[in-house]
Amino acid sequence: MSEASVGKPMLPVAGKPPAGPRVSDGSNIFLTTKLDRLIDQARKNSLWPFPFGTACCAIEFMSTIMSHYDMSRFGAEVVRFSPRQSDLLIVAGTVTDKMAPVMVRIWEQMAEPKYVISMGACACTGGFYRAYHVVQGIDEFIPVDVYVPGCPPTPEALLQGLLRLQEMIAAGETHYQRMVAAARAKAKGAVS
Amino acid sequence: MRNTDVVVCDPKPLRFWQRFYLVEVLKGLGVTLRHFLGNLFGRKYTVTVEWPEVKREYSDRLRGRHVLLTREDGSPRCVACYMCETACPADCIHIEAEEDPTSTVEWEKRPKVFNIDLLRCVFCGLCVDACPKEAIIMTRHHEMAFTGREEAVATIDTLLQKGPIDRIDLGYRPYYGRESRPITLPIPVRVEPAPKAPRPDLAATP
Amino acid sequence: MSMSQEKLESFRRAFPPSRGVEEIPGQDIPTFQVERELLPELARRLKDDPDFDFKMLSDVCGVDWPERQARFDVVYHLYSLTHNHRLRLKVPVSEQDAVVPSVYGVWRAADWFEREVFDMFGVRFSGHPNLKRILCHPSFQGHALRKDYDPGQRWLLREGEQDEPSWAREVQEDEDHFETQVLNLGPSHPATHGTLRTVVRLDGEVITRAECEIGYLHRCFEKMSERHTWNQIIPYTDRLNYCSAMMNGVGYALAVEKLLGVEAPPRAQVIRVILSELSRIMDHIVCIGANLNDVGAMTPFLYVYQAREEIYSLLEACAGGRLTISYVRVGGLANDVPEGFEEAVRYLLRRIPPLVDDMERLITENRIFRQRTEGIGKLSAAEAVDWGWTGPCLRASGVPYDVRKTNPYLGYETYDFKVPIATTGDTYARYLVRVEEIRQSLKIVEQALKRLAPGPIITDNHHVALPPKEKVYTEMEALIWHFKLIMEGMKVPKGEVYGFTEGANGELGFYTISDGGGSPYRLHCRPPCFAVFQAYPHMLEGHMIADSIAILGSLNIIAGELDR
Ligand code: SF4
Ligand code: SF4
Ligand code: SF4
């Protein structure tokens, strides 16, 4: 997934042409220290998920936070329903065209840095709903860091996705981090 | 409907002592305290599976990642008959057939391309039911996570069975005869031995 | 059950063919084709005449016949609680003049159902108070369930184009000249458990007006089912009411089996009963747990969820999936249950009651909980029937309607269980009814377990069921049947049927039309939530904002089923 593929107008629209989703270019980021590493460590172990649960996958997400799997063991315990208080968007369930603007709005409202896990076949690609009202993968609208397959994914699979995301954060490979890095490189280039 | 078939469950009036919040609150606290103390000293009510060190033991029918079985000589059993592709509700299987050069009979086909888009797949198992050759079955490998859509398309190389069949963590497959493991409840778990080397048949998956 | 002969006769006398009422013979329930001009009078009479007494409108849906002159059929399914009989009315309209008089004035249940027909087929209902799209978004062009609509054709909805009730923009002052406030609950709201949106007008903390917006999870189930073979639809049905996937599959399979004239073997029926009832328990557990969670009691949710996880484990051992199990097949089940099934169910029978007891001890007599729920979200029996309510919500209002008793299927008439009802019809009553239903379901499971005898689990009719695998590998004939079933799908005889079962939320109907092909010509699902939820905005008026959450939780709205 590259930024270019985010926000292409891909659907026929009644009326005016679409305004693509706004993708922040990272220009408001200026911190450039070695401290980042440490902060990333801290961030990866204290993710605050926002469960954007819409359908059946949300039920499995519930199982994941319940006693049997207990997501809090991975530091992602405080499920927040306010986008302002969370940095991990877990899209669990089918996103329809009616729901897509809501999802984009929530993603935009989340404080940076932010990460996205797409849970389940529907959120990743639309699954077996190749249909007139279903978004064929949320990466049409927002950048996704980890895709968890399954319908619904087992709680283990979601936890695996979470661990994968943690690894990515530590290695600086998430979408957000790469965007920041690119913005920095550009700024550097402009200075020298 | 007869009246005898009905049970009326109307609210009981609160008894005298129930009118005080405190009694009820204490009673409720008693229940939670019982669970708490039981967990603290005996782990009596603990149900958490300490994943990933301890794994929940799923049944032999769990529908996880697919695997394409091979014949003894290592060639795929699949004859590219497109039945699984037709049966798949998600249209996530893509097969291209070619003439099998090694075959002894005419018209024998084999798959040149066999892709399964694991992000489309809904793990319904209909492909397994559809296969007339027991060529495609499912494993219990369900802990997957990808970082890109392309990465999630399993090709024939990654799908083909590697190593002997008893090395595969078999899941949903055509079922006849005895089950290898009966259901047991409470939920069985198994303690993973220290980090093991990736299994050969799954080495290709992240 | 169909109407008795003399009732039918009196109906024919009152509405003879000369008035434009034509009987269509040979249907599963008496069916009449009605001229649209006659519909309002007919509807009023059917409802008010004690001979017919069709107090409940269970379903309205549309069917498209592109090659016919009168292109659309609007189909009404009526039910009488007192006589326990059903009636189907069909009103044909042409595409150029697709207007039907609304029956909202007769049955309020028609409210959303008619909107859905409008959305999907473009048939207008004259006299409907709020006729606009309901499932598709406002920027959607065309009508999706028409046969000539391309299923892949999407339309983009942009921010700012979302639907808003017309009254939400008006500035309104209350009697003290304070401005009232319009508040948007959802669609992403912690207490909506899914994707429902309610716009409310608040005067202080009191809701003076409300309107719901649904369709945020409209996944085109009905369109998809027209594109897949009969058995491929099973995974789709799992995702309707995903809290109790098994029951949807059973309901769907029963409808198709009725059309085919086959029956599942006894063992399959018993297993269906056991797993359905366990699913019902699961569904009620989630409903109660989530409801409690919303009003502030987290602990019981954690306790009862343990039971749910173990039922999952059982389902997974039988079917291979935890939530979306795809276990049912038309004509039986996919596989036999594995060894140890009976012991596992017995274990659950021992395990679930103490957890429910614990929950009850915490909640049932808890004064805080009672004060938050008693008298909240009250709906009288007559109103509930008028809205088309079914299931635990209707029973909490005092109407003992349960399909398992009135129209038994899967041999439910031979099980000894009771239908819990309550009379107060408030949120607390709905909680009590659900708890009692869990106990009754356990009772059914216990009895069913005793009847589990060895035997086949799927019919041996090779036009319907895949032949056993070992035969496919060895016998040519079996292979040919296998090939035919997979490549073309089973051939279901021409006809139509309304199959209905008692889902976790009420009457779950599948109106199935076959044209003899490998996939349904039309499959309409009558989701119980849909009827229940349409009353919600009206129930809110006069309640506090915090109560709206308690009420919503007690209705158990499952978005997958609501929006399909
Ligand atoms: S991926 Fe499957 S389980 Fe998840 S929301 Fe989609 S249909 Fe439901
Ligand atoms: S499991 Fe179902 S969705 Fe996945 S490849 Fe097989 S048939 Fe297709
Ligand atoms: S059904 Fe079996 S043999 Fe046929 S193409 Fe699929 S995997 Fe190969």
pLDDT band, residue B1 (cuts 50/70/90): low
Architecture of domain C5-126: 2-Layer Sandwich (3.30)
Residues from chain B contacting residue A170 (CB–CB below 8 Å): none
Digit-coded pLDDT (tens) for C416-429? 888 888 888 888 88
Q: Is residue B22 part of a domain?
A: yes
For position C176, what pLDDT does the model report?
Answer: 67
- The H-or-E segment that residue C403 falls in is helix C403-406
Q: Count CB neighbours of C284 within 10 A.
A: 26
Q: Is the domain of B148 the same as that of B98?
A: yes
All partners of chain C with 3 or more CB pairs under 8 angstroms: A, B
Digit-coded pLDDT (tens) for C252-303? 999 999 888 888 888 889 999 999 999 999 888 888 888 888 887 777 777 7
| Domain C5-126 identical in fold to domain C221-563 | no
At residue C328, φ and ψ (nearest 5 deg) are -80, 145
Nearest to A125 among B50, B51, B119 (CB): B119
Q: Is A55 in the pocket of ligand 1 (CB under 6 A)?
A: yes
Q: Is the domain of B80 the same as that of B160?
A: yes
CA angle in degrees (0–180, nearest 5) for B44-B45-B48: 115
Q: Is A159 in the pocket of ligand 1 (CB under 6 A)?
A: no
- CATH code for position B128: 3.30.70.3270
Q: Count CB neighbours of C3 within 10 A.
A: 21
CB contact under 8 A, C400 and B6: yes
Residue B84: nearest ligand to its CA? 3
Give residue limits of the domains in chain C: 5-126, 221-563
Kindly give the number of the ligand 2 atom that is closest to the alpha carbon of B93: 5
For position A29, what pLDDT does the model report?
Answer: 47
Nearest to B149 among A147, A150, A161 (CB): A147
Q: Is residue B206 part of a domain?
A: no
Q: Is residue B115 part of a domain?
A: yes
In the reported structure, the alpha carbon of residue B63 is separated from the centroid of ligand 2 by a whole-number distance in angstroms of 10
Q: Hey, is the C-beta of C402 within 8 angstroms of any chain B C-beta?
A: yes
Total of domains in chain B: 2
| Averaged pLDDT of chain A | 77
| Of C447, C403, C439, nearest in space to C420 by CA | C439
Q: Is the domain of B38 the same as that of B86?
A: no
- The neighbouring-strand residues paired with C211 are C199
Q: Is residue B190 part of a domain?
A: no
User: Considering chain C, what percentage of its residues have pLDDT values greater than 70?
Assistant: 97
Sequence-distant (6+) residues with CB within 8 A of C176 are none
For position C39, what pLDDT does the model report?
Answer: 86
Q: Is the pLDDT of residue A157 over 70?
A: yes
Q: Is the domain of B42 the same as that of B125?
A: no
Kindly give the number of the ligand 2 atom that is closest to the alpha carbon of B125: 1
Nearest to B14 among C303, C365, C468 (CB): C365
Q: Hey, is the C-beta of B56 within 8 angstroms of any chain A C-beta?
A: yes
For position C2, what pLDDT does the model report?
Answer: 58
Closest Cα to atom 3, ligand 1: which residue?
A: A152
Q: Is the pLDDT of residue B173 over 70?
A: yes
Sequence-distant (6+) residues with CB within 8 A of C69 are C94
In the reported structure, the alpha carbon of residue C463 is separated from the centroid of ligand 3 by a whole-number distance in angstroms of 22
Residue B123: give the domain boundaries. 66-167
Task: Give residue for tokens 């922040």.
Answer: A24
Closest Cα to atom 2, ligand 3: which residue?
A: B131
Q: Is the domain of B99 the same as that of B147?
A: yes
Digit-coded pLDDT (tens) for A38-97? 777 777 777 888 888 888 888 888 888 877 777 777 777 667 777 888 888 888 888 888
For chain A, give the secondary structure using H, E and C. Answer: CCHHHCCCCCCCCCCCCCCCCCCCCCCCCCCCCCHHHHHHHHHHCCCCEEEEECCHHHHHHHHHHCCCCCHHHHCCCCCCCCHHHCCEEEEECCCECCCHHHHHHHHHHCCCCCEEEEEHHHHHHCCCCCCCCECCCHHHCCCCCEEECCCCCCHHHHHHHHHHHHHHHHHCCCHHHHHHHHHHHHHHHHHC
CB contact under 8 A, C155 and A58: no
Closest Cα to atom 8, ligand 3: which residue?
A: B78
Digit-coded pLDDT (tens) for C140-197? 888 888 888 888 888 888 777 777 777 777 776 666 666 677 888 877 776 666 678 8
For domain C221-563, give the CATH number.
1.10.645.10
For position B103, what pLDDT does the model report?
Answer: 67
Nearest to C367 among B21, B178, B183 (CB): B21
R_g of chain B computed on alpha carbons: 26
The pair of three-digit structure tokens given for residue A6, joined into one six-digit string: 């985010």
